[in-house]
Structure 1
Amino acid sequence: MKQAYLMIALSGLYVSGWTEAYAQDQESVIENTRTQEQLTSTLEQSKAHEWGLKAQEWQRYRELMEGPLGVYSPGIDPLTALGMEARDSEEQKRYTEMQAHAEYKRITKLFAYQNAYDDAFARLYPNLLPVNLIGADNTHQSSPATAPARLMVFVTIDCKGCVERVKRLQSADQHFDLYLVGTQGNDELIRGWANKAGIDPKKVRSRDITLNHDGGRWASLGDGGSFPAVMRQVNGQWQRH
């Protein structure tokens, strides 16, 4: 009988201990979940602040990206997304003005960094042609009045007639952005091609002519034609010149 009482007592202690341990585990899970939610909330607030958005605006952006907009434009920024899906003209005006300010700041920083890079490159490698660091389409965004007159020229390493066409453009004192397709990020390929085409280093340093990796730009235009491809912007669309 004493053994039976002892077994019951021990069983009670075991159940009590297990219950207490389970309760502690549950409390730990709840606490970890609460901490994770707080971290997520803080991160979301930080992201909203970076874009100058209120918490409810950021939440609306998140909801929009869960729908068709996020499928069709997965990399779209919050201001563009909210502006496109604005519920009235006042809301649209707010986001377009916010985006104009944000873009101005971005371009200002972009130019400042490109200029600093150009200075550093000229100092460290005075005898090398500078390859454009951030893409000609970015460095010329702030000059909409002159952009239509500037050409994009797409060439490949061994395309027939490419060298001659580029030489004629340079002789005509035409400003253009040269894109070499298929470089795989190799700057020396671009420099070698530019030397073969007789591109004036002074025009490259003054950015009358820029040398660029294609980086998928040609495919994005969807032209599909032969090279050389000399493109001019007409009514916002790039067409063969």
Structure 2
Amino acid sequence: MTNAQTQAAGSGSKTSIEIISKSRPAEELQNDQSRLARQWGLQEDELIRYRALMHGPLGTYSPNLDPLSALGIEAQTEAERQRYAELQVEAEAARVEKLLAYQRAYDQAWKVRYPGMALINLPPMSSPLMIKATERVAVFVEYDCSRCEHRVKQLNTAGTPFDLYVVGSRQDDKRIRDWAQKVGIKLTRIRDGTITLNHDNGRWLSIGAQGELPAVMREVNGKWLRQ
């Protein structure tokens, strides 16, 4: 084989290797896209459209929208909108069921490890176990506050589900449990998740709310409104 042939052969081998190495990431990317589309119950072209939408005004105003929400909002027909709504209901139901299954396992583990002790969520509002519901409110109170005690008693008597945040708890779980017992919150309501007890940990300031406590707050479209 001449030098020219050797060089040509070497050049051909190098070119083949380069083609393989460059095409591999593209294939992997395609596989990832197909897998992601299946997870959402979508076709690949729908996922591509979602990404295009998120690079436009929709993504600017709502940067954290999931594919089903984005495609549903920008649906081109009523049938298309209905399809995305049904897919989202199914996806949300599956997600909630997984959360509840793990929550039950978590509660059982807590009962075994700390029998008779009320569960306190730490840190507040950051646990993946917390399921946001439109009827649920967040109640911010101060530790030494008669008005706060009265308001929580009202909510508790009415059977309202709420997440309680105690400002001035000093990160002391016992202070929160004693406070909850003082206002008549039963352990059963804590165990079933109807009421959660939380250290404030700066949550009151972080949501940008103003005014005196107690404050009953509800999240509406990403904004916290006093009730």
Q: Secondary structure at the match of 2:171?
A: helix
- The CA deviation at 1:17 is 4.1
1:82-101 matched pairs, under 5 angstroms: 82-101=71-90
Q: Does 1:167 align with 2:149?
A: yes
- The CA deviation at 1:69 is 2.5
Q: Which residue pairs with 1:153 in the alignment?
A: 139
Does the Cα contact within 8 Å between 1:151 and 1:232 map onto a contact in 2?
Answer: yes
Q: Which residue pairs with 1:8 in the alignment?
A: none
| Cα displacement string for residues 168-209 of structure 1 (whole angstroms, at most 9, x for unaligned residues) | 2344325431134699xxxx9262341342434514224342
In structure 2, distance between residues paired with 1:77 and 1:154? 30
- 1:177–1:45 Cα change, 3 Å: same
Q: Does 1:225 align with 2:215?
A: no
In structure 2, distance between residues paired with 1:46 and 1:111? 26
- 1:190–1:48 Cα change, 3 Å: farther
Q: Secondary structure at the match of 1:154?
A: strand
In structure 1, distance between residues paired with 2:205 and 2:62? 18
1:184-199 matched pairs, under 5 angstroms: 189=171, 191-199=173-181
In structure 1, distance between residues paired with 2:137 and 2:219? 8
- The CA deviation at 1:23 is 3.2
Q: Which residue pairs with 1:124 in the alignment?
A: 113
Q: Which moved more, 1:199-208 or 1:51-60?
A: 199-208
- Which of residues 158, 161, 165 in structure 2 aligns to 1:179? 165
For residue 62 of structure 1, what is the amino acid of its counterpart?
A: R
Q: Does 1:21 align with 2:10?
A: yes
Q: Kindly, what percent of the aligned residue pairs are identical?
A: 38
Q: Does 1:67 align with 2:56?
A: yes
For residue 177 of structure 2, what is the amino acid of its counterpart?
A: N
Does the Cα contact within 8 Å between 1:154 and 1:180 map onto a contact in 2?
Answer: yes
In structure 1, distance between residues paired with 2:91 and 2:42? 12
Matched residue pairs, number? Answer: 214
- Which of residues 165, 181, 191 in structure 2 aligns to 1:205? 191
Does the Cα contact within 8 Å between 2:143 and 2:168 map onto a contact in 1?
Answer: no
TM-score (norm 1): 0.72
- The CA deviation at 1:227 is 3.7
Q: Secondary structure at the match of 1:57?
A: helix
In structure 1, distance between residues paired with 2:201 and 2:58? 25
| Cα displacement string for residues 139-187 of structure 1 (whole angstroms, at most 9, x for unaligned residues) | 6x3xx6xx2xx542124xxx5754x34432344325431134699xxxx
Tell me the C-alpha RMSD between the 2 structures. Answer: 3.5
Q: Secondary structure at the match of 1:98?
A: helix
Does the Cα contact within 8 Å between 1:129 and 1:201 map onto a contact in 2?
Answer: no
Structure (1 or 2) with the larger CA radius of gyration: 1
- Which of residues 35, 42, 52 in structure 2 aligns to 1:46? 35
